Structure 1
Amino acid sequence: MSMNDDDAEILAVARAGFLDEAQEMLRQFEQGLLVLEEDPSDSESLNAAFRAAHTIKGTAGMFGCDAVVSFTHEAETLLEALRSGSRQLDEDVVAALLESRDQIELLLGEVQSGEEDPGVKASSEALAARLRALLGATAAAAHAPAATAPSQAPATGALGEPEDGGGDGCWHLSLRFGHEALRNGLDPLAFLRYLATLGETRALRCQTEAIPNLDELDAEACYLGFELRFDSKAKREDIERVFEFALEDSDVQIFEPGTAPAAFEELATRRCGEDPKARAALFQCWHEMGMRFKVRLEVAAVTAAETEAETPQAIPHIERRVGPAEEGKTQKRSDRRSGEGERREGGRDRRAGDETRFVRVRADKLDKLIDLIGELVIAGSGAQMMAHQEASPLLVEATQRVMDLVQETRDGTLALRMVPIGETFGRFQRVVRDVSKQLGKEVDLVVTGGDTELDKSMVDSIADPLMHLVRNSMDHGLETQEGRIAAGKPPMGRLALNAYHDAGAVVIEVSDDGRGLARERILAKAVERGLIAEGQVLPDHEVWQLIFHAGFSTAEQVTDLSGRGVGMDVVKRNIEALRGSIALSSEVGRGTLTQIRLPLTLAMIDGFLTMVGGVNYVLPLSAVAECIDVPAECAAQNERISGTFDLRGEVLPWLDLARFYGISPDTSRRRSVVVVRDGQTRVGLIVDRLMGEHQTVIKPLSAIFQHLKALAGSTILGSGDVALLLDVSGLLNAAIRNGQQIRQTGTAAFAHAVLKS
């Protein structure tokens, strides 16, 4: 691979990292604004939003994303006006800034795709004009990015000499980039381009004195430095933030207009040491840039002739006295941006700590690693089986140790993909805010259990179903303020998101304190659509499940949010595709609770291996409650598929898996009942043999097997045989609903017991 290819790959990786980080910054930006809307006095949230916008603008400038930089600057300027108190926060400002967040996301999308949309450009210009209008003419002038007005009168120095500090009202920046800057992905010119968004560069000199001879030159090292005069009305911290990403690999000195000459003498000493030639060259550079202050040159190390020949006559000689107080101020100002100052050292420590704690890994590489761990689990099971067949205690012990290590490796690898679901919950604060304003309702969003961890792939997949449930609750569930007051409720509705672990699964709940589900209306709609017979009596559980039929809706009016009967069937289908289940419970006038139950991961599980009719079946170990002999009442009905039995005073339903799947049971040996649970429901599954625990690597079923009932996938055993993974919730649903296959008299009792339990 050529050097250019290497550079392109490094740049592509850095660009992808920028886009990922920008999404996190947008989340912080939005979160800060939402908190501010509730509490305008929260200065920390305002600062967090400002920092997020500034970080996006700064990093976008480094990658040449001019459209992002230009628009984000408008939002940043309005935020700065809020911070300074020149503009007060109101509803219009919050709305415009939130729309700015969405616009920045669109602009970042253009960066990612590499394609520009004229519509996005037009909306950026319109929204930027709106931001400037909200800022007001006075504030806009105070925070303009570039100084277009004439320069101020020359600033005077501390002792009143009009020539001190350059006399042109400009900032002076002295930049030296470290040798590793280019290798670490820094582009010195990118910082200069970004600096131009804050003002005008009046003079610029590139310092090349550090460039070695050609035979000593490292093509990947950086030897550049810059001296520049910068005319800007920006604050010092704004200019400092331009270079905050380069603190590790550069030495940045920033001098305000009117800085005393002593500070420049000290800078010359830092840059040149006691080399009078280098000092003279640096002062000559400053003089050519238009700086007219006079400084004392130390020429003890060279002869007068050398000094006269190499030091320009335009730099006169003058003695300058600096008082103790001024000297202390100068030292602090220099230390603030020097390589030895506390600020830089603190920044370096923080960055080093972050690098030791976090490593960015591509998702496809992690998926490949998990696949390899899965194959290792299968191979380890085969080796363990062979060791038992050889009946060698030493070999059995060795393989057991290997399997223990494989299991720890498996758990550790899967943990790499586990992320808190709170990040997904956080997205809904903006949704609730926007939808509540659209509907004219006051809604209080309560989020709990945000630290509950779930597989990253499942977190991404569950976002859309949750979005639909949240919007449904706000549109159909929660009443208007007038309706709530009339019902004796608080005017503000309550919408809650909750997550917790339960029996090896993750349960996500969406609840509201609204009007609840209208049972009679649902039944009437179901009869109208022919889903049930008129007069048919159904328990609440089955009534609520009618909502998940395609096209089912009881809404009297179609709105922009819902009412077309599109969505709930998709929600259920998407959740079941994740091997999960969804259940509803509701009470008229009290609200509705939606529970989504998901497995922790889709890759590997601890399973319980059984055999039915010569076929291996695996149950999730977390769903197995206990194993017992087949009760007498089950054995007496050996021709039935299902029925009920008494388990220590509790009536439980049972299902014969062999007859359910249409295969002949093995009656030559004692059969067993595996009691499994799905949420609060328990059922006994009759199997032929119990094979024990088994680490299960889940393989998806081919499309030709998708029609099979209640199967969540397959796995490969150590012997090479295929085992089928049972879906417990799907098994119960199929057993209850499929009346064509279950005609025995025990079916009604079975279904009743399932629903009752």
Structure 2
Amino acid sequence: MNRDDEEILAIARVGFLEEAADMLRQFEQALLIMETDPGDTENLNAAFRAAHTIKGTAGLFGFDAVVSFTHEAEALLESLRAGRIQVSEPVIALLLQSRDQMEALLAEVASGEQDPSIAEASRELGAALRAAMGGPTAAAEAPRAAAAPTEPGATQWAIGLRFGPDALRNGLDPLSFIRYLGTLGRIDEIRLLEDAIPPLDQLDAEACYLGFDILFSGTATREQIQQVFEFCIDDCALTLQALSAPEADAADGDAHDSDTHEAHAPDDAPTHGTAAATDRRTGERRTADRRAGSDDARVVKVRADKLDRLIDLIGELVIASSGANLVAHTENSPAMIEAAQRISDLVEEARDGALALRMVPIGDTFARFQRVVRDLSKQLGKEVELVVTGGDAEMDKSMVETIADPLMHLVRNSLDHGIEPVEARLAAGKPAQGRLAFNAYHESGSIVIEVSDDGRGLDSARILAKAIERGLISADDELSEEEVYQLIFLPGFSTAEAVTNISGRGVGMDVVKRNIESLRGQIRVASTPGRGATMQIRLPLTLAMIDGFLTQVGKVHYVLPLAVVAECIDVPPECRADPDRVCGTFDLRGQLLPYLDLARFYGAPRTEQRRRSLIVVNQGETHIGIVVDRLLGEHQTVIKPLAPMFRHLQALAGSTILGSGEVALVLDMQGLIAAAGRHGTTYRHSHAFAAGTAPLNSQSIG
């Protein structure tokens, strides 16, 4: 095998592993639905198709361990489809264990290393699967041996297979299909057809001239044999004749071919001609119809690093476009201004399109927790239903993996500490089955994710007492209810009476908050004792580029996310009355709102500014005014990380480069509001933050 072939196989192997991971997710999802709805035949068929696809593709690559074990799981699913056994909790548990075992075998494929313990687990679980079907529990023979022609219900088939000249060019390996066929039964005889090979001087080294006559025995149906060659149906002519078949299969054969059961020797099986052409045309029509109706045919998978590189280049293009606009206005040339504006509009469209490529539905992340909730609830002896809403809300793919771990901590805490055991719930007048809910929605340029349960809720008095006991706060500190709830995110904090293997060590919630804040996000808590608790996570839609609003304070430029800007007004009299004050409150058309003077907050030197402005910002249910020196308008903002020496600065999400080459600082609004609260403002508990109809009761920014 030359180097090019090795590279092609390596790329194909990566593609197989990616497809197998998708199939495993579908397999697991279908099983979890089947557990709650045993009569759902559609999901039973979906699970079978996923397992069959994994087995089939693994067979093409010669991954025998994957094929052998997946065959066992597929056999159990086939028994469920045929009604020989019924869906039950033990059967679903076995199939879920099979899913985990398939994942372990695929991990061996990815690493190229074999683990004897995984092979032993495959044997033991395979025996359990056979036992569930009422079969022998001893180690079974390989599928090929199990399908001997003497087995009851076995059929002998004559298979004619003629590959087209482009088969090799299209990446097909004829022997891989024959090897996979062998996993369904026994290949009794195979004859190479070489009549199509031209003289040496006319031979194309990249063309395929081979054909095969195969005598095959086994219990596989016509459809199962045809599925072996489904991947190459466009590049081969296939004929299939049953030489001997049990009476039960006769009707099936008649439905497909009137002379299917006509007995003749394999040498007489036609490999080309009218029958082969008919089979090929039928296969081509079937494949064309499948492609025409499939969304997958219009999907192109792109490496993540290539996509990241594209986003980076678009970001540089945004900065260059801003510079071109500045030059055009400096030159005061109408033609240049018009051309620069046109370029700017196109760059904005390209930016939006590139960012959209990285957006994925949050529901894909939520779906991972179906299995977690099932397993943990059974481990804890609780009944819990997972309800997901807003799964179609999209977020940046780069944030998905980072947010998955915090969500896992929140789910485990809700199941362990929040939702009560069945007896306690019944005694409290609640349904026996607890409810854990995921909800997601877009709001003000952010994605909001809520994890809520209907359990016992948080006990603020107990949290406060535990924090004082551990010296985390002083007994004299006056905290609002939400500030008390925020104590659970301090390192080492826990109110659990006993440590379990699920939670209780005080490790995790501080990591949750740190991971969320690393994404420029914020987590808030609301709870009603005895009725449940809600954890609300607010994240930016993307970490790469935003529509910004450019301002200036002194000689420094600041950018706010445009999505949070509600309106801009003159500085109110309340702010002008005490120009040295960092924070205060002002009246906005009868509504009392807090404000923050950005110049005083960052310690900028006082300037003789004739006219300053106040920007009213809506961050979720929080409303605050930001006082700045100048308003410079909208600005496409490419967010770049701050250098380590500047990361100690408060409430900054990053930096950006302006068209002039100057650096502007990107404000982190949530950090700015929190920092303002820590500044000791008088509005901390004002009614301006206690009002509203948000899912969270408290609107304090402290």
TM-score, normalised with respect to structure 2: 0.91
In structure 1, the residue matched to 2:53 is 55
Q: Whole-Å Cα distance in 2 between the matches of residues 150 and 426 of structure 1? A: 42
CA-CA distance at 1:648 after TM superposition: 1.1
Shifted more, 173-182 versus 444-453: the winner is: 173-182
Residue pair 2:213, 2:267 contacting (<8 A) in 1 also: no
Separation of aligned partners in 1, 2:148 and 2:572 = 97
- 1:180 matched to 2:146: no
- Aligned equivalents of 2:648, 2:139: Cα separation in 1: 68
Written as runs of structure 1 = structure 2, the 5 A alignment for 1:12-91 is 12-91=10-89
List gaps (5 residues or longer) in structure 1.
156-167, 268-282, 299-330
Provide Cα deviations, 1:453-487, integer angstroms capped at 9, x if missing partner: 11111122211111111121111111111111111
Match of 1:442 in 2: 383
SS at match of 1:89: coil
Distance 1:198 1:212 in 2: 34
Residues 68 and 337 of structure 1, relative CA distance in 2, 3 Å threshold: farther
Letter in 2 for 1:210: A
The DSSP-based 3-state class of the residue aligned with 2:70 is: helix
Deviates more, 1:661-670 or 1:10-19: 661-670
Residue 290 of structure 2 corresponds to: 350
Note if contact 2:66-2:105 (Cα within 8 Å) is conserved in structure 1.
Answer: yes
Q: Match of 1:208?
A: 194
Q: Which residue of 1 aligns with 2:356?
A: 415
Residue of structure 2 in register with 1:504 after alignment: 445
Tell me which residue corresponds to 1:386: 327
Q: Over residues 619-643 of structure 1, what are the superposed CA-to-partner deviations in whole Å (9 max), with x where a residue is unaligned? A: 1001111111111111111111111
Partners of 1:180 and 1:474 lie apart in 2 by 57
* In 2, Cα distance between equivalents of 1:386 and 1:753: 48
For 1:469 and 1:237, how far apart are their aligned partners in 2? Answer: 46
Structure 2 CA distance for aligned equivalents of residues 490 and 149 of structure 1: 51
Q: What is the alpha-carbon distance in structure 2 between the residues aligned to residue 382 and residue 347 of structure 1?
A: 52
Partner amino acid for 1:246?
C
Deviates more, 1:134-143 or 1:435-444: 134-143
SS in 1 for 2:491: coil
Q: Which residue of 1 aligns with 2:184?
A: 198
Report the residue type matching 1:171 in the other structure.
Answer: W
Question: 2:21, 2:146 → 1: CA distance?
Answer: 34
Distance of 2:603 and 2:300 partners within structure 1 = 51
**CA separation in 2, counterparts of 1:487 and 1:541?**
25
Residue equivalent to 1:625: 566
1:482 equivalent among 411, 423, 429 = 423
SS at match of 2:449: strand
**Deviation of the 1:356 alpha carbon:** 4.8
Distance in 1 (alpha carbons) for counterparts of 2:357 and 2:195: 48
Q: d(CA) in 2 for partners of 1:566 and 1:694?
A: 41
Q: Deviations over 1:28-66 (max 9, x none)?
A: 111111111112221111111111001001111111211
1:727 aligns with 2:661: no
CA distance in structure 1 between the aligned counterparts of 2:476 and 2:104, rounded to whole angstroms: 53
Structure 2 residue aligned with 1:234: 220
Q: Secondary structure at the match of 1:61?
A: helix
- Matched AA of 1:238: Q
**Matching residue's letter, 1:364:** D
Q: Distance in 2 between matches of 1:201 and 1:87?
A: 30
User: Equivalences for 1:279-678 in 2 at 5 Å?
Assistant: 338-341=279-282, 344-351=284-291, 354=295, 356-678=297-619
Task: Tell me the amino acid that sits aligned with residue 288 of structure 2.
Answer: R
Measured in 2, the distance between the counterparts of 1:75 and 1:578 equals 41
Q: Partners in 2 of 1:60 and 1:123 — Cα distance? A: 19
Q: Which amino acid aligns with 1:235?
A: T
| Letter paired with 1:345 | R
* Matched letter for residue 748 of structure 1: T
The sequence identity of aligned pairs, in percent, is 63
Aligned residues: 675
Q: Which residue, 673, 677, 683 being the options, matches 1:749?
A: 683
Q: What is residue 93 of structure 2 aligned with on the other side?
A: 95
Q: How far did 1:97 drift?
A: 0.6
Change (3 A) 1:493 1:92: same
- Checking the alignment, whether the CA contact within 8 Å between 1:609 and 1:618 is kept in structure 2 is yes
Query: Cα gap change, 1:488/1:227 in structure 2, threshold over 3 Å: closer, same or farther?
Result: same
Taking only aligned residues, the RMSD between alpha carbons, in angstroms, comes to: 2.7
Is contact 1:497–1:510 with CA below 8 Å preserved after alignment? yes
Aligned-partner Cα distance in 2 for 1:400–1:666: 34
The offset of 1:750, in angstroms, is 4.9
SS at match of 2:121: helix
Alignment deviations for residues 349-404 of structure 1 (CA, whole Å, 9 cap, x no partner) = 32355465111111111111111110000000000000000011111011101100
Distance (Å, rounded) in 1 between the aligned partners of 2:597 and 2:684 = 12
Task: Quote the Cα distance in structure 2 between the aligned partners of 1:685 and 1:436.
Answer: 47
SS at match of 1:537: coil
Native 8 Å contact 2:598 2:627 kept in 1: yes
SS at match of 1:339: helix
How far off its partner does 1:431 sit? 1.1
Contact 1:644–1:753, Cα closer than 8 Å, also in 2: no
Distance, in Å, in 1 between the alignment partners of 2:135 and 2:634 is 73
**AA of the residue aligned to 1:347:** T
Are the counterparts in 2 of residues 666 and 688 from structure 1 also a CA contact under 8 Å? no
Distance 2:23 2:565 in 1: 44
| CA deviation string 1:301-331 (max 9, x = no partner) | xxxxxxxxxxxxxxxxxxxxxxxxxxxxxx9
> What amino acid sits opposite 1:446 in the alignment?
V
Q: What CA distance in whole angstroms lies between the structure 2 residues aligned with 1:345 and 1:551? A: 64
Separation in structure 1 between the aligned mates of residue 559 and residue 277 of structure 2, nearest angstrom: 65
Looking at structure 1, the residues matched to 147 and 367 of structure 2 have their Cα atoms a distance apart, in angstroms, of: 44
Offset of residue 75 of structure 1 = 0.8
Residues 184-234 of structure 1 show CA distances to partners (whole Å, capped at 9, x for unaligned) of: 222111111111111111110111122222233222222221110001122
Q: What residue identity is the alignment partner of 1:202? A: D
In the alignment, what sits opposite 2:241?
255
For 1:569 and 1:584, locate their aligned partners in 2 and report how far apart those are by CA, in whole Å.
14
Q: Please say if residues 653 and 753 of structure 1, whose CA atoms lie closer than 8 Å, have aligned partners that are also in contact.
A: no
Q: What is the alpha-carbon distance in structure 2 between the residues aligned to residue 600 and residue 687 of structure 1?
A: 26
Q: Give the distance between the partners of 1:139 and 1:348, measured in 2 at CA.
A: 44
> Which residue in the other structure is 2:693 paired with?
none
Change (3 A) 1:46 1:154: closer
- Correspondence for 1:316: none
Q: Which amino acid aligns with 2:567?
A: E
Bigger shift: residues 66-75 or 119-128:
119-128
Alignment check: 8 A CA contact 2:68 2:143 kept? no
What CA deviation, in whole Å up to 9, does each residue of 1:476-502 have, x standing for no partner?
111111111111111111111111111
Question: Where do residues 76-155 of structure 1 align in structure 2 (5 Å cutoff)?
Answer: 76-137=74-135, 145-148=143-146, 151-152=149-150
2:211 counterpart residue number: 225
Give 3-state SS (helix, strand or coil) of 1:170's partner. Answer: strand
Residue 307 of structure 2: SS of its match in structure 1? helix
Structure 2: stretches of 5+ with no match in the other structure: 258-262, 691-698
Structure 1 CA distance, aligned partners of 2:123 and 2:645?
53
User: For each residue in 1:492-529, what CA deviation from the matched residue of structure 2 results, as whole angstroms up to 9, or x when unmatched?
Assistant: 11111111111111111111111110111100111012
- Tell me the CA shift for residue 169 of structure 1: 5.3
Distance 1:248-1:665 versus aligned 2 partners, 3 A rule: farther
